[in-house]
Chains A and B, each alone.
Chain A
């Protein structure tokens, strides 16, 4: 029994790490640009397919390193060409645009790489269990959690220790004042969008190694990521991280005790948070 709980707890942690990685990117973009990026799951899938395409040439490690950057670059181009035009308008416009982009990405992936799941081969030594009793602890799963932790640490380092990060945080509160201080906010939002998409690309590569790769790989992650943002508190990135991990672990544990509620539990949590603490766990006062 305790084996089963541990297994699902760890599974929940992994799923939660994905939610968090997705949700952090979504939050970055939402906080600075006011865009709810429904195409985030599409970028995740593209990241994974880019890695899949690169792998024969540069191997797993090379692909893992390069694909997130290429995905971020793609994000930067799309922000520059399309999304930027809708800043300051009714959020409905950007919602529709990113919704459309999500479908376009999915169909483009299907057209290029096919609708079937393609094999995504990770290095053999990573797939072995670390021990016999903890059979579920494969090297890849541990590796994934470590990599997500490193990515999150790097993100918070950028946000708290670099001028770019300080400007992003300042801009989420008062973009107008940031611009009067000589900061080009068009570039700032563009880079910030790229940063968010980088995280989606990384999540894509990691997820493909675990689940295999098909065009809809991002679809199942997008709604939980929005839930993570609301549970953690809109506007708070540490909250988003916490929200992602919490709902992941909660659905993992629910699998043990009440399997049919696995999908529903995160929405129940969201409902409870909205009832008891509308600004979310770590959300700031006044920001719903």
Chain B
């Protein structure tokens, strides 16, 4: 079963036509990677799905509901958790307050469990969001979205600007979430680390899907990986 289905999205910012018929699916319990260069339209795709930048054409279904023109809070209310690009931590709120902003959907995640699973956030719970390091902010952004108890997790470049060790930690959280039955749509530029944990990979270029296939297959195609990862991403090699 697919928990998320996206069909033929055409999304615009004002007059600029950004997405040209993007289609993708996220099957239940899988990690789906959405890769692509800077400016390819990955963030726009996620923003269309969560309702921040609704598409002008096309259809989005979340758990079978046609959510194409729903408001973001209604879509989130179905159990679609979105971790935005650049974290967007509330800088004027403490760590604990950041965790209390989301709507409280029933599920396993509580403030207490977050502090058990993210000891670093527990230590910093009374600090303002603006006082956190990049890694801590990413942890908080993910934990904050987990407080919604989502069944689908859509993350926009969670590894952006983080040290390799922290990237591993972040990716571990994602695989842990999948083990608990959460389906994942992972937008990344960190190609190697992403295909290592993903089940399926899409590649977006210039607002169109140019590749779709099993992540393992994509990982084997060294030429494709190198073309997409570029020289700068070589250092993201993950062990095992």
- A, B in one complex: yes
CB distance from A242 to the nearest CB of B (A): 17
- Bound complex: CA A238 to CA B148 (Å): 31
- B144 within 8 Å of A by Cβ? yes
When distances are taken between beta carbons in the complex, the residues of chain A under 8 Å from B73 are: 179-185
Contact status A181-B71, CB under 8 Å: no
Chain A nearest CB from B99 CB (Å) reads 9
Q: Is A40 an interface residue (CB 8 A)?
A: no
Cβ A170 vs Cβ B77 within 8 A: no
Of the A-B pairs whose beta carbons lie under 8 Å apart in the complex, a sample of 14, sorted by A's number, is A163-B100, A167-B101, A170-B92, A170-B98, A174-B88, A178-B101, A179-B71, A181-B73, A181-B103, A181-B147, A181-B148, A182-B103, A184-B71, A284-B92
Interface centre among A172, A176, A284 (most CB of B within 10 A): A176
Asked if B202 lies at the interface with its beta carbon under 8 angstroms from chain A, I say no
The 5 closest A-B pairs by CB, nearest first: A182-B103, A182-B76, A181-B102, A179-B72, A170-B90
Q: What string of 1s and 0s marks CB contacts (under 8 Å) between A159-199 and chain B?
A: 00001001101101110111111111110000000000000
Q: Give Cα distance in the complex from A174 to B144, angstroms.
A: 14
**How would you classify the secondary structure of chain B's contact residues: helix, strand, loop or mixed?**
loop
Q: Does chain A have a CB within 8 A of B105?
A: yes
Q: In the docked arrangement, what's the CA distance between A172 and B88, Å?
A: 13
CB-based contact A163/B101 at 8 Å: yes
B137 to chain A, nearest CB (A): 13
The residue in chain B whose Cβ has the minimal distance to the Cβ of A236 is: B92
The residue on B at minimum CB distance from A162 is: B100
A183 and B102 within 8 A (CB): yes
Which residue of chain B is the closest to A177 with respect to CB atoms? B88
The yes or no answer to B205 lying at the interface (CB within 8 A) is no
Q: Does B84 contact A (CB under 8 A)?
A: yes
CB neighbors of A among B88-136 (8 A): 88, 90-93, 97-98, 100-103, 105
Is A173's CB under 8 angstroms from B92's CB? yes
Residues from chain B with a CB closer than 8 A to the CB of A181 are 73, 76, 101-103, 144-145, 147-148
Main secondary structure of the interface of A (DSSP, over half): helix
Residues of B within 8 A of A184 (CB): 71, 73
Residues of B within 8 A of A (CB): 50-52, 71-73, 76-77, 82, 84, 88, 90-93, 97-98, 100-103, 105, 144-145, 147-148
> In the assembled complex, which residues on chain A have CB atoms less than 8 Å from the CB atom of B102?
181-183
User: What number of A residues sit within 8 Å (CB to CB) of B?
Assistant: 20
Alpha-carbon separation in the docked complex, A185 to B74 (Å)? 10
* A180 and B76 contact, Cβ closer than 8 Å, known pairs A163-B100, A166-B100, A166-B101: yes
The residue in chain B whose Cβ has the minimal distance to the Cβ of A181 is B102
Interface centre among A166, A173, A180 (most CB of B within 10 A): A180
| 19 additional A-B residue pairs with CB within 8 Å, beyond A177-B90, A181-B144 | A167-B101, A169-B90, A169-B93, A169-B97, A170-B90, A173-B92, A179-B52, A179-B71, A180-B52, A181-B73, A181-B102, A181-B148, A182-B73, A182-B77, A182-B102, A182-B103, A182-B105, A182-B148, A184-B73
**Bound form: Cα–Cα A166–B98 in Å:** 8
Cα of A285 to Cα of B46 in the assembled complex, Å: 31
Measured CA separation A95–B102 after assembly (Å): 31
| Complex interface: chain B residues within 8 A of A284 (CB) | 92
Q: Do the beta carbons of B52 and A176 come within 8 Å of each other?
A: yes
Nearest CB on B from A202, distance (A):
26
Given contacts A177-B84, A177-B88, A177-B90, contact A170 B71 (CB under 8 A): no
| Chain A residues whose CB sits within 8 angstroms of the CB of B88 once the complex forms | 174, 177
Chain A positions 44-103 with a Cβ under 8 Å from a chain B Cβ: none
Q: Mark A90-119, 1 if CB is under 8 A from B, else 0.
A: 000000000000000000000000000000
Q: Which residue of A lies closest to B91 (CB)?
A: A173
Given contacts A180-B52, A181-B145, contact A170 B82 (CB under 8 A): no
If A173-B92, A181-B103 touch, does A166 touch B76 (CB 8 Å cutoff)? Answer: no
Q: Complex Cα distance A123/B88, Å? A: 52
In the complex, the answer to whether B97 meets A166 with C-beta atoms within 8 Å is yes
